Each structure stands twice: as C-alpha cells, then as structure tokens.
Amino acid sequence: MSCFSKGCHLWALALAILLAFPLSGKTVVKMATLAPIGSPWHNLLIEMGQAWRDATDGEVILRIYPGGVAGDERDMIRKIRIGQLHAAAVTIEGLTEISRDMNVFYIPMLVNSFSELDAVRKPLMHELENDLSDGNPIRQPADLKRMKQFSWAGDYAAEQLWRKAGFQPIPLASVDVLTSLQTGVIDAFSTSPMVALSFQWFALAPNMLDLKWGPIIGALIISDKKWQSIPTQFHADLQQISVRMEADARAIIPEMDAAVTVMEENGLVVHQPTDEEFSSWKELTRSMYPYIRGSLVPEAIFDKAINLKTTLDIE
C-alpha cells in the first residue's frame, strides 16, 4: 500500500492555474475573481489578459469571470480542481483552501507597513510557493501531517489513532474518495497501486511515495446458515476451490508493478524514500505502538505479531 498526494500550482501567490484547453486553435484560460467589474483589480486582470494575448500572438486568451459570478474564493479553488475553471485571482482566503500555511498572514498586527510586509513575506516566499505546488510530494511524516487524508468511515479507532499522532484523517466511504479529491475535501490517501489505477484516484493525486505501509488483506465470507444449506458432500470441493482462488489472487500481485507503469505513463510521479526518510516513517510507526496496542489491535495478538516480526529481523 503506497501513499498518494496532490496539490495545486500557484503563480505569484495569487493566480492558481491547473489547466488550459484549446478552443478553435486557441488556448482559453477561464479565470474567476471577486473583483468587481471596473475596479482597479479587475482592470489589472484585463491588462494582464491583453499582455498574454500580445505575448503569444493571440494564441492564449484570458477569459475573466469577475464580481463573484463563479462563487466565493473557496468555490473557485474547488472548481479549478474539477476543471470547471482554470485559474483564479484570489486573496489569502482562497489560498488557505490549498495550504493552511497561508493562514500565517492572518496573524493580527503581524505587519504595520509594506516594508514590514516585504521583510516577512520575502523570506517565507519560497516555502509558501512550494507548499502550494504539485512539486511537493509526501516524503516524510511531517509532509503528510499537513494534508487531509482519507480514512475509512466507521473505523473510529483508526481515526482516533491518526489524530493522536498529529495527522488529519477525514472519514469517508470509499465511493466518495474521487469526489473528495476533486473538491479538496482530502489531499492524500493510502492504497495499493491497482486500486489507485482502477478507480482513477491517481489522476487527482499525481505523487506516490513508494512506501510499503501495510498489506491489504481480503477474504471471502459466507453466512453459516447458507453454508449449512449446501449439501455436505460438496463442502470439501468448494473449500479446495476457494484455496485455489487464494493462490490465483496472490499471482495477481506482480500486476501491481504494471499498474504503476501505466500510471507513470499518465502523469504519476513515483518517489522512492531515502534511507533517512524511511527511518522517519519507522520511527513514527514505533511511536504509535502504544496507541495501537490494546485499542486498535488487541494486546495478545499485537504482541505475537511484533515477536514474529522481531524474529524475522534477527534472521
């Protein structure tokens, strides 16, 4: 099971552009803003659009939707994520929909002049821009802690475990993952490559950390009442068939590598953790053992599994 993550690009900390598409040979960028028609900010955008047109010999056209006709700023960011818009001229309110770090400018009386603003903003600029870029994958636990990650709805113990460790789990049904990625409800999820490809989740989370976080175990279950209704002379044969299916299912595992290859051909970037990054994840998991033992996993079987793992490590 690997970790996938997403993000949004930021241009000049005010313009988020994810996609532009050709129309009659031209590239049209649909941009929204709260700036009222005729306001200085709207006029600047019109001027920028004309400059874009001139610089590209008319190949790039900026289509502006002013005055909040596309919704508030958080709506604009969500519409960019699902492709209804391509760009937005936003304030900090909109940028915090992408990165919580942008809330730094909400600190009351942080600055008292433009010179003070520049003195604070410029040293932070690189970090803030990186935090708003798709180029920021999950590499170590601190990266994931900044993101809203998918958690199985109904698994209250696991949700609480993630929260105790400082993460931001968002309980969801699996059928809601794609929509939640589109709308920004979540930024990251852990799953197998085959699942990410099959459900097309990877298209909205184009960074994958190749970390073997845990196996996905499956089982075929049948009610005892129905099983007993099957003539007993067939039980052994049916069980043997099920055992064979388990072996066939294991044989599918190599297809995981093929799934990663397909996703890479369609924009996925796979990141291999360095030794130092891998150690940070190992340290995290060990620090979570006291929370896992007795709450998520019963103590007796937890101890057996850890002892078996310790034996394997020694061997």
10-residue mean pLDDT series, the chain (315 residues)? 59 41 72 92 93 92 93 87 86 82 86 87 82 72 92 91 92 93 88 89 90 80 90 92 84 80 91 94 92 90 91 69
The answer to whether the beta carbons of residues 281 and 211 sit under 8 Å apart is yes
For residue 190, list its beta bridge partners. Answer: 3
* Per-residue confidence (pLDDT) for residue 12, from 0 to 100: 39
In this prediction, residue 314 carries a pLDDT of 58
Scanning the chain, the segments in alpha helix (DSSP H) are 40-55, 73-81, 92-95, 114-131, 141-145, 156-164, 177-183, 193-198, 224-229, 235-251, 255-265, 275-292, 299-314
DSSP H/E element including 5: strand 2-5
Question: 233: helix, coil or strand?
Answer: helix
Going edge to edge, which strands form the sheet with 2-5?
168-172, 148-152, 188-191, 2-5, 207-209, 269-271
Alpha-carbon distances, residue 152 vs 9, 162, 169, 191, 244 (angstroms): 28, 12, 9, 11, 30
Element (H, E) at 169: strand 168-172
CB-CB contact of 76 with 95 (8 Å): no
Question: Where is 270: in which H helix or E strand?
Answer: strand 269-271
What contacts 110, CB < 8 A, 6 or more positions away? 104, 120
- pLDDT given for residue 105 in this prediction: 86
Identify the three-state secondary structure at position 123: helix
pTM: 0.63
Give the distance from CA 79 to its chain's centroid: 17
Q: Contact 74/91 with Cβ under 8 angstroms?
A: no
Kindly state the tokens that stand for 128.
Answer: 């803030």
What is the CATH topology of the domain spanning 141-314? D-Maltodextrin-Binding Protein; domain 2 (3.40.190)
Q: How deeply is 97 buried, as exposed, middle or buried, from its count of CB atoms within 10 A (0-12, 13-18, 19+)?
A: buried
Are the C-beta atoms of residues 54 and 24 closer than 8 Å to each other?
no
Structure tokens at 295: 């709450």
Are residues 36 and 219 in contact, defined by beta-carbon separation less than 8 angstroms?
no
Residue 192: φ, ψ to 5°: -85, 155
Q: Are 54 and 120 in contact (CB under 8 A)?
A: no
| Domain ranges in the chain with CATH number 3.40.190.170 | 7-131, 141-314
Domain 7-131 is in which class? Answer: alpha beta
